[in-house]
Amino acid sequence: MRYQESLIFIVEGYDDDPRELQEIPEVREFFSQLTEHWPHWLWFLNRQLGSISLLMPLLCKSEICRDSSGVIGVEILDTNELKTKLLDLLRRGNAMFACFGITDEQANASVQSALDKLR
């Protein structure tokens, strides 16, 4: 319980690559494989540093949006894919909730805070 919303991840080794992480196939594949084995992102990811907004475009088809000033944003191209990924994380994360006695209310609050950060 004490690690809820405390996980921050950092990806090193791509500082000289002009692409954003979501554009690098090896990074996307790594997070896809990690998520297959460990679906507990929504419970543990830090909410204040944009971790959820970084993870979900790594797991879903997304597009980097740039304007003339170089400002970027990320658009998830298929909201149904996003919904499917989120539901899969929830479904597979239920085992952890049951194992550690996390109540439905606590789980729902965690999911809601994650969704709020994706909006």
- Render pLDDT for 47-56 as a digit per residue (tens, 0 to 9): 999 899 999 9
Query: Percentage of the chain surpassing pLDDT 90?
Result: 83
pLDDT of residue 72: 82
At a CB cut-off of 8 Å and minimum separation 6, what does 27 contact? 11, 14, 21, 58
Residue 72 lies in a domain: yes
Cα angle 103, 82, 20; round to 5: 115
Residue 38 lies in a domain: yes
At a CB cut-off of 8 Å and minimum separation 6, what does 58 contact? 21, 22, 27, 28, 31, 32
Residue 12 lies in a domain: no
- Please give the tally of structural domains in the chain: 1
Residue 6 lies in a domain: no
Residue 79 belongs to domain spanning: 21-118
The one-letter code for the residue type at 73 is: G
| CA–CA distance, 53 with 41 (Å, rounded to integer) | 12
Residue 4 lies in a domain: no
The answer to whether residues 59 and 35 touch, using CB atoms and an 8 Å cutoff, is: yes
pLDDT above 90 for 119: no
pLDDT above 80 for 30: yes
Residue 3 lies in a domain: no
Summarize pLDDT for 59-98 with one digit per residue, the tens. Answer: 999 999 998 887 788 999 999 999 999 999 999 989 999 9
pLDDT above 80 for 5: yes
Cα angle 78, 86, 115; round to 5: 90
| CA–CA distance, 6 with 4 (Å, rounded to integer) | 5
**What average pLDDT does the chain have?**
93
The answer to whether residues 8 and 46 touch, using CB atoms and an 8 Å cutoff, is: yes
pLDDT of residue 57: 95
Residue 7 lies in a domain: no
Residue 90 lies in a domain: yes
